[in-house]
Amino acid sequence: MSTIIDPAILFFIFGVFAGLVKSNLEIPQPITRFLSLYLLMALGLKGGFALHQSGLTLAITTSLGIAIFLACVVPLVSYFFLKTKLGALDSAAIAATYGSVSAVTFITATQYLNHVQIEYGGHMAAAMALMESPAIILAIFLANRAKSSVSQTKQSLKVGKLLHESFTDGAQLLLLGAMLIGILSGPDGQKVMAPFSVDLFKGMLAFFLLDMGLMSAKSFADLKGKPRVLFLYAFIAPLCHSLLALSLCLLFQVELGNTILLMVLAASASYIAVPAVLRHALPEVSPALYMGMSLGITFPLNIIIGIPLYALIAKWALGS
């Protein structure tokens, strides 16, 4: 229950309630955009300061390797499973959504770990950044292959352009840039930036989660009339993905805090970066499909129940 009584989580629940009762409460879009960029900047700085202190160790390299592996395996497994129930393009879109990650879910998980005093590595912010793009690239490749087989014409997949868009996306670039600045500036930079990146962080997160609650409530309507398998997938897939991450962490003896965050990342689903790409890459697929699943079911599930559940499972598995 400790996560439920956290003010940031309560603001999220309040936002869902306000949306469900059709309140006119609304956060202006420019403010929402600023809040998301602020959270990524603060997270990147925190990770950079931690990496400056620890350096690049075998444990850090192992965690990053597991993150990349998960980012490749999860969308592939998701695609071939969903393809038995849905069309190839719908399957590819959902696989990209669930193979990528949610930065806000990750940030909320770091706050939960701080609250329960479980240590984790600052390099996990880099793990999050590395996990965002592979699912998009793989899913669009699979979708283009499906299109080619149907039309019997070769459609060129502009991998270079896709890679450029993925790695120069403003939010991701800000995260990596802030991390680099944190590494370069070290303890002196950490002291200077603390009022901005530490003292304001919790309040900014609470405000942002309020808006996410409002958006989640609106996304519930997008799920009307969708196949039941999508509801089951949105509930069950996060747990399955988190258990896959846990098994890898147990195999490579990853520390508790980093294990929990890898489980959270594997369980999360993108609702910002992936939809922005898919609207152009797969216009045949309705955004209501993957947005309704990720933002209407998986995101609130992870924020309210998932994060403490994954932590509990990890503690049990690691004997902590």
pLDDT in tens, 84-125: 988 888 898 899 999 989 888 999 999 999 989 999 998 898
Measure the CA–CA gap between 250 and 84, rounded to whole angstroms.
31
Q: How many domains, in total, are found in the chain?
A: 1
Among the residue ranges 35-49, 60-74, 212-226, 246-260, the one predicted with the least confidence is: 212-226
User: Higher-confidence residue: 193 or 289?
Assistant: 193
pLDDT of residue 165: 59
Average pLDDT over residues 144-169: 59
For the ranges 76-90, 196-210, 237-251, 290-304, the maximum mean pLDDT occurs at 237-251
Question: Residue 196: pLDDT above 80?
Answer: yes
pTM comes to: 0.82
Whether the CB-CB separation of 249 and 262 falls below 8 Å is answered with: yes
pLDDT of residue 150: 55
- The percent of residues above 70 in pLDDT, for the chain, comes to 89
CA-based torsion, 293, 294, 299, 305: positive or negative: positive
Question: Residue 283: pLDDT above 90?
Answer: no
- Inside any domain, residue 23: no
pLDDT of residue 287: 76
- Inside any domain, residue 132: yes
pLDDT single digits (tens) 47-73: 888 788 877 789 899 999 999 999 999
pLDDT single digits (tens) 176-192: 788 889 989 989 999 99
Among the residue ranges 44-48, 116-120, 155-159, 253-257, the one predicted with the least confidence is: 155-159
Residue 214, classified by CB atoms within 10 Å of its CB into exposed (0-12), middle (13-18) or buried (19+), is buried
CA-based torsion, 21, 25, 29, 34: positive or negative: negative
Among the residue ranges 138-142, 155-159, 208-212, the one predicted with the least confidence is: 155-159
Predicted confidence band of residue 154 (pLDDT cuts 50, 70, 90):
very low
Whether the CB-CB separation of 282 and 298 falls below 8 Å is answered with: no
- Inside any domain, residue 4: no
- Domain residues for 51? 28-318
Radius of gyration of the chain (CA): 19
Average pLDDT over residues 302-310: 94
Question: Residue 295: pLDDT above 90?
Answer: no
Measure the CA–CA gap between 108 and 304, rounded to whole angstroms.
10
- The percent of residues above 90 in pLDDT, for the chain, comes to 36
pLDDT of residue 159: 55
- Inside any domain, residue 77: yes
CATH number at residue 216: 1.20.1530.20
Question: Residue 155: pLDDT above 50?
Answer: no
Query: Mean pLDDT, the chain, as a whole number?
Result: 85
Measure the CA–CA gap between 41 and 173, rounded to whole angstroms.
10
Closest CA to 264 of 210, 317, 312, 211: 312
- Inside any domain, residue 82: yes
Whether the CB-CB separation of 141 and 157 falls below 8 Å is answered with: yes
- Inside any domain, residue 14: no
- Inside any domain, residue 81: yes
- Inside any domain, residue 224: yes
